[in-house]
Structure 1
């Protein structure tokens, strides 16, 4: 039996009621409890106030110097404050929601207090209180994330009991060779130390061991799935008509860059193999990913298959449909657009033609994955801005064919850290250069009091025959947020820019209204387009040379870079103006980085450090793993080592056959990788 076979109620001190409460924390077994790790620690070593940093949790000893002041606030919540002399420092100790202590705190008593120190106000917000000198608690105690009805103190007690009760039963899942190579603690020792550290050094060693283990198990799943896919040989082996393909490439009105040719070769080689392609195509804004995808779709059609291109918005889908129709019209390739806006008889006819094979390439939004959509012979699926779709949506499109090749595209440069995790089972192609003739976009940061000069800048750009975007974070005014909104900005610019057509685009417009304003902007009937971030991805108007972003400090670096990428798409000099007060140091850093570099990959790494992986894509449906201890930013070197080790393991017979690895094979079996299930 393993610890997963013991219900949490089998631990001494855990009754039925408490076992039910632990379900709130998703703790059902002894294994769940022991693997429920602390997120920080209380240090109970008594400190002198002069050694405690602002914001640090620490323990002090002092004498009470005043009668406690008691008060209620916010629906019977209570607050006690009392003056305490600790060494030569007179401070205020504050205790929340412990009204019973007002009778315990007496003038002249010695107390031991643990809490968060605010240096500027000389206030200690107390989390733990003890009357008298400190008891022998040890230096460190864990603090766990808890929910109502479960105290940290009670959780500590049962974790300690579980570690005692199941001593010797925490099976080692790493082979000796790996532990010796990296000098890792044994699993049982690491788990004990992560809960109840004996020293700072031992805590670091325990975390290092468990982070490596967490990354290794994840990467084993990724690498095993990748190997399984490569060995399956049940995909489409495209017999591409190279003569037609070469004629198409030579007919393009421009030459492919070296980087485009490199990634195109990688994609076409994948398409010729019998194993299904699973490739991510990434490149900075304006690097020419779409034309590479178009060539791949053309190649699929020459081999007798259909292609599908799914985009996250109707605007982007329509734009792709227009550009592909222009590219393919001279080569007798039939394209069609399917969005929620295609209805009635037109929709019915389109679906019939698709099923019969009269449509070669279907472009659309998530409408492409609806039950009624059937392809005759789907061979290649292209998903644009793939992180905007959920895992289920991507899978449903892939399942419209018999193991079709899949090409994911993204203009959000993915930091290498995330590429190793979210896309760990994919091959990655990167377009690392921009087409020739493009001038770097000049970026400036101004504060709101210079808005009149920004409006003058817009007027000059329009007078020169150019166009401008003005982006706002909100559609309309908000009571909660003091930021510029699109409706007010549209009204302001309409009055300020007399004789200039100012359009408005936001997410609440219906598809016809969006298409109308976008078409008028493309035709320069609208010179200034006020919009929300609905224009962030894919909108291509080469004549637009000015991007104004209001309250730019409200956006992430990668999003700002995406917005900036809407200009600079022609041969004329383009500009990006970031309007922001940027009061915090982080906001100032963001503005500084945006004005100093146009390298999307560098900005994506900085953005990841600022916002963390969970918010990087702005979407929780991107497939990010939920690690218990590991940090994708700070533990990157450990992740890289684990990935390398996992790749070697899954390709060795010893991993699949020897007992030393059987506990590492178990998570793969549980994930369905060793049977016919798909890993998404």
Structure 2
């Protein structure tokens, strides 16, 4: 087996960091084959191929490889996602429908009934703690001869208290792996068997466990009374008790979060060190005069955030800031002020957004505010005609274009700025890390501001954006009335339609959102095309528009512009209308099959109305069958606070689905859980910041393992450490 990347990387470190003293020993140069003499005293033996483990042959190696396991270390650090508890418990302590393992005496001959194709049901009566219960086994008729009246058996299954039965049941004949019957359960792929994986891990732990090194400094281990690392990994795989498992999880959770935060804080420190000498000389009086000329006063929160951003722009360090603000809180105005400031300081600005509709929205807003100030704002999108594109690119190079607004077209090759001073990305979690990096690198040392209208829970903000400063606009502009939100069943749509008509008679407009474009055989949900046809006949006195992702850019523009000008009174749309659309005259938002959306997306959609001075309404048409669906509808009707909703959404859906898809900035942890371990995350962040900003961390032998880890992760460069 060829060396894995991690092995090659470690060999490189050993070659180049001898004088750094990060480790004392060097691994065998040839780690591509089984070594006749294992360096058991050398921790680098953990980087040997997994075929070094007894019983791992070529086929097993392929199976393990599919799980991302290539080395002994990978195997040891492939942690179980849960543990089955096979400890025998008295039935009196067991709740209805709880999974339990019981020990009892067989009281009847087992009865087997066959049905369907190769399906069977075996039932047997067992006396447990003086109670006669029935154990039901599906498709395990071969167990019939195992049950002998009067003999003792151990059975695991779900306890039905009402029927005094255990179903579906599994007969436990093997010896318990430990005192309390806790058995690890791992994620599997292909034909890898759970028993085989447990056996390989047990063998690896026996042969190599004593080589696991402590990563955390003694001071932190003692401060938090943490279990030793080797002991923690051993107990994660093979806990002796619930308490030992709990302590092992506690230890590894802290380690995972601390290591990640060390990475974030080191990135932050490196960026600040590389940013020196690029402070901008802002004409502060001009900026304040521009703020005074705005058609509306800033809120207290906007003023606070504005000052934080201006301080960053004037600083000798490059800005790397996340701006969070609820729907309609006024982030665009803050962006305009920041862009105005850098242009007046002699630089160019760029604003990148995920969709062309949003790009046009920002283009219109910024032009309205900045054109009277003599600032040139241009738009560049994928659908731009060749001549227009050439003009914009030429204007960027000469400096005639002060601010460029656009989609991903901004980061394409050939789009070059004369002097890019500020990069702003809106709804930044939709961009990959590399895309943001490419845009930043188009300038010498541009300041970077990330904006999002998706309120992000503090735990995710610390994790995904831990290397940034965070600003929050948590105050809505004056005059905004809270949106009234109602939950209605689909059968009540006639009443909803009647309410929409009343609002339209007042001169207002309405959105109707559907999850699908066309009818689907797999999903029984409303689709935009059918709803458009239905409303067209139901609202014959009014015009109904249609917008979805399959329309051409020109067709989308026509549909949106017609709605903006009130040429169409109702717009039926998919979630393409989710961000960036601003129609103050729209007062009704109807969302079909609302249970199919997460809280954050529902809140984003709700934010399309309530932008004018009139009272606005959001009606959720949902007939949820899941508890989560009911819970989401209830939460939506109780609060308009996006940050409160985001915390609830995180609890209901988990961090992986919070942004609607896995996003590159959000880490995946093996043991830690961002929802439940948020307090540990906060502590880890504080500890990491203290370490990285201390002299001792970079020189003391107490932190050699942490420095090595940062190096192996590619966070540090060799020259810096040499």
Matched-pair contact (CA < 8 Å) for 2:122–2:144: no
Q: Does 1:417 align with 2:417?
A: no
Number of the residue aligned with 1:91: 134
Decide which of 32, 47, 65 is 2:109's aligned counterpart: 65
Structure 2 CA distance for aligned equivalents of residues 470 and 652 of structure 1: 56
Query: Superposition pairs for residues 363-512 of structure 1, below 5 Å?
Result: 363-512=405-554
Structure 1 CA distance for aligned equivalents of residues 77 and 161 of structure 2: 35
Shift of 1:550: 1.2
Kindly tell me the number of residue pairs found equivalent between the two proteins.
671
Query: Superposition pairs for residues 41-440 of structure 1, below 5 Å?
Result: 41-62=83-104, 63=106, 65-70=109-114, 73=117, 81-87=122-128, 88-96=131-139, 101=142, 104-105=145-146, 108=149, 110-117=152-159, 122-126=165-169, 129-130=172-173, 138-139=179-180, 140-234=182-276, 236-440=278-482
Number of the residue aligned with 2:24: none
Shift of 1:234: 4.8
The C-alpha deviation readout for 1:259-296, integer Å capped at 9, x for no partner, is 11110111111111232211000111110001101110
Structure 1 CA distance for aligned equivalents of residues 616 and 306 of structure 2: 29
Structure 1 CA distance for aligned equivalents of residues 52 and 161 of structure 2: 46
Matched-pair contact (CA < 8 Å) for 2:363–2:378: yes
Decide which of 661, 679, 701 is 1:619's aligned counterpart: 661
Shift of 1:45: 1.9
Structure 2 CA distance for aligned equivalents of residues 227 and 433 of structure 1: 31
Matched-pair contact (CA < 8 Å) for 1:235–1:402: no
Shift of 1:217: 0.3
Number of the residue aligned with 1:584: 626
Shift of 1:665: 1.4
Secondary structure of the residue aligned to 2:379 is strand
Range that drifts further, 565-574 or 12-21: 12-21
Matched-pair contact (CA < 8 Å) for 1:443–1:578: yes
Structure 2 CA distance for aligned equivalents of residues 249 and 307 of structure 1: 18
Secondary structure of the residue aligned to 2:173 is strand
Matched-pair contact (CA < 8 Å) for 2:258–2:684: yes
Matched-pair contact (CA < 8 Å) for 2:135–2:169: no
Range that drifts further, 237-246 or 381-390: 237-246
Number of the residue aligned with 1:521: 563
Structure 2 CA distance for aligned equivalents of residues 462 and 272 of structure 1: 49
Shift of 1:119: 5.6
Shift of 1:310: 0.7
Q: Structure 1 residues 433, 61: closer, same or farther in 2, change over 3 A?
A: same
Secondary structure of the residue aligned to 2:70 is coil
Shift of 1:6: 2.3
Shift of 1:89: 3.9
Structure 2 CA distance for aligned equivalents of residues 421 and 587 of structure 1: 27
Structure 2 CA distance for aligned equivalents of residues 602 and 676 of structure 1: 44
Q: Structure 1 residues 298, 65: closer, same or farther in 2, change over 3 A?
A: farther
Secondary structure of the residue aligned to 2:136 is strand
Q: Structure 1 residues 154, 379: closer, same or farther in 2, change over 3 A?
A: same
Number of the residue aligned with 2:31: none
Number of the residue aligned with 2:73: 31
Matched-pair contact (CA < 8 Å) for 1:283–1:430: yes
Structure 2 CA distance for aligned equivalents of residues 124 and 334 of structure 1: 72
Q: Does 1:630 align with 2:653?
A: no
Shift of 1:126: 4.2
Decide which of 694, 703, 709 is 1:667's aligned counterpart: 709
Matched-pair contact (CA < 8 Å) for 2:110–2:144: no
Shift of 1:431: 0.6
Matched-pair contact (CA < 8 Å) for 1:212–1:642: yes
The C-alpha deviation readout for 1:283-319, integer Å capped at 9, x for no partner, is 1111000110111011111111111111111110011
Secondary structure of the residue aligned to 1:573 is coil
Shift of 1:368: 0.8
Shift of 1:116: 4.5
Matched-pair contact (CA < 8 Å) for 2:112–2:120: no
Shift of 1:605: 0.3
Matched-pair contact (CA < 8 Å) for 1:235–1:405: no
Matched-pair contact (CA < 8 Å) for 2:46–2:208: no
List gaps (5 residues or longer) in structure 2. Answer: 1-41
Shift of 1:490: 0.9
Shift of 1:503: 0.5
Matched-pair contact (CA < 8 Å) for 1:60–1:86: no
The C-alpha deviation readout for 1:346-383, integer Å capped at 9, x for no partner, is 22222222222221111011111111211111111100
Range that drifts further, 509-518 or 41-50: 41-50
Structure 1 CA distance for aligned equivalents of residues 274 and 158 of structure 2: 57
Number of the residue aligned with 2:9: none
Shift of 1:228: 1.3
Structure 2 CA distance for aligned equivalents of residues 126 and 365 of structure 1: 56
Matched-pair contact (CA < 8 Å) for 1:44–1:138: no
Secondary structure of the residue aligned to 1:168 is helix
The C-alpha deviation readout for 1:18-52, integer Å capped at 9, x for no partner, is 22321111111111111111112222222344533
The C-alpha deviation readout for 1:87-124, integer Å capped at 9, x for no partner, is 2343343345x67x357545646543334556677452
Matched-pair contact (CA < 8 Å) for 1:468–1:545: yes
Q: Structure 1 residues 69, 61: closer, same or farther in 2, change over 3 A?
A: farther
List gaps (5 residues or longer) in structure 1. Answer: none
Matched-pair contact (CA < 8 Å) for 2:133–2:166: no
Range that drifts further, 169-178 or 49-58: 49-58
Matched-pair contact (CA < 8 Å) for 2:178–2:238: no
Q: Structure 1 residues 462, 197: closer, same or farther in 2, change over 3 A?
A: same
Structure 2 CA distance for aligned equivalents of residues 585 and 363 of structure 1: 43
Structure 2 CA distance for aligned equivalents of residues 515 and 590 of structure 1: 32
Secondary structure of the residue aligned to 2:438 is helix
Q: TM-score, normalised by structure 1?
A: 0.94
Structure 2 CA distance for aligned equivalents of residues 514 and 52 of structure 1: 59
Q: Structure 1 residues 135, 622: closer, same or farther in 2, change over 3 A?
A: closer
Range that drifts further, 111-120 or 237-246: 111-120
Q: Structure 1 residues 104, 350: closer, same or farther in 2, change over 3 A?
A: farther
Range that drifts further, 119-128 or 167-176: 119-128
RMSD: 2.2
